[in-house]
Amino acid sequence: MVRAALRQIIQLSEVGRKQGNRSNQKMQLQIIENIFAEICRIEAITGSTKILSSLKPQGMITVTEARETISAHCAASSITQVPLQHAVGLVLAETIFAPIDVPPFDQSAMDGYAFSFGDWDGNSDLTVTDLIQTGEYYSGTLKPGEVLRIFTGAALPSCADTVVIQENVMADGRRIKINDKKLNKGNNVRLLGSQTKKGAQILKKGHLLTPASVAFIAGFGIESVEVYSDPLVSIITTGKELVKPGEALTSGKIFESNSFGLNAALLQMGIPPHSIEVVDDDEVKIMTAIKRQLSSNFLLLTGGVSVGDFDFVSTALEKCGVQKVFHKVKQKPGKPFYFGVHHHTLVFALPGNPASALTCFYEYIADAIGCFTQKTYFKKLQLPLENPFTKKPGLTLFLKGKISPNGVTILHDQESYKMNSFAEADCIIELEEQREQFYAGDTVNLRMIG
């Protein structure tokens, strides 16, 4: 019944898209997402992938459909407890509450002299009776006319309520005279709990831990936190023609670059790859490499994913038990893009052309990893186009672009085998499938990659 309902909604959604009924389309897509999420939950419990595999798109699909389908298979990672010193860059999987007041006591905010404001007549000299260093606590008393030398951060004793800063004092041995006509009771004192009260919420679940937030948490004496773990990502690059940079380049060979690009993109996200392999165009060798890496959360393959005589990747994946969800997307570059699942492993096979591989990573895989880690990578925004562009309808184009103060420029050399423009680009511009003409000044969607 769920499958039948979903197919019907997909059909209605397609009709709504063609008719331009955006409100109905949005509602229908939300229903689809909810159904997919429920199916994913059932599959996660049962360990089965048969439900969604029976609903997988047939033939070439749109970019929107590809994104929605991948999103439906994504889930947040497992929650793990990590020492606070290793938590930066991770996302909190718990809401944290203050176990203590901070500051934990009334505290001097400056180097100076502490006294009871009500015991001073506003004019008389005062006598220094003792000294309080930071980290010490004074439990004695003060008589009228007496003060304590105190330093920044030191605990203010109960017998004092005000600190006069040392710059506003004339000292002569143990005698001081205050020269501060604006001094009031409570000045230069940080009160107990003035930053955070005990029991107050410190940080919410979903907070991205920065160096400042790590220091903030440490100030409460908390030594570890629950976070969403980073994924294990494995890379397999295929191609008989590939030579490792630094080795001799013989006739018919090219230097392998895809693993370097994907590795760099992952490091850009703060996720070192679990494994990187370069494999010949040999089905048995590809299958062996796949089987080694199917315990990863994400498996990325490049090359051998089209329909040539030596394109073995999709067949090898099938023989290794990977359930194909879709293969081929209405886009350029990256039309042969493949997505499948193997238990809890998401499998992406990318075209071998370097620009296609990186484009598919930024436009699809980064978001899937973001769902896993609960982070947002490679910010999306809209900017006016600075130069016109004409395309044929029927394919979404992903073009390398460069942002300027006035908008974004489509760069030269957009072919999928060319990396020179990609090396200059700081964004990827998305031109929608059915539109043909784009004029200077038109607002376009883009994704930051720089």
Q: Which pLDDT tens digit goes with each residue over 74-130?
A: 999 999 999 999 999 999 999 999 999 999 999 999 999 999 999 999 999 999 999
- pLDDT at res. 308: 74
- pLDDT at res. 311: 85
* Torsion angle in degrees (nearest 10) through CA of 291, 295, 300, 303: 0
What CA–CA distance (Å, rounded) separates 381 from 450? Answer: 13
What CA–CA distance (Å, rounded) separates 236 from 371? Answer: 22
**Structural contact between residues 191 and 106, judged by C-beta atoms closer than 8 angstroms:** yes
* Torsion angle in degrees (nearest 10) through CA of 76, 78, 81, 84: -40
Q: pLDDT tens for residues 375-403?
A: 999 999 999 999 999 999 999 999 999 99
Q: pLDDT tens for residues 4-43?
A: 444 444 444 444 444 444 444 445 545 554 555 556 555 5
Say whether pLDDT at 326 is over 80: yes
Predicted confidence band at 56 (pLDDT cuts at 50, 70, 90)?
Answer: low
* Pairing outcome for strands 427-431 and 443-448: antiparallel
> Whole-model pTM?
0.80
Predicted confidence band at 57 (pLDDT cuts at 50, 70, 90)?
Answer: low
Sign of the torsion angle spanned by Cα atoms 210, 215, 219, 224: positive
How many CB atoms within 10 Å of residue 448? Answer: 15
Q: pLDDT tens for residues 331-365?
A: 999 999 999 999 999 999 999 999 999 999 999 99
What CA–CA distance (Å, rounded) separates 192 from 169? Answer: 26
- pLDDT at res. 208: 97
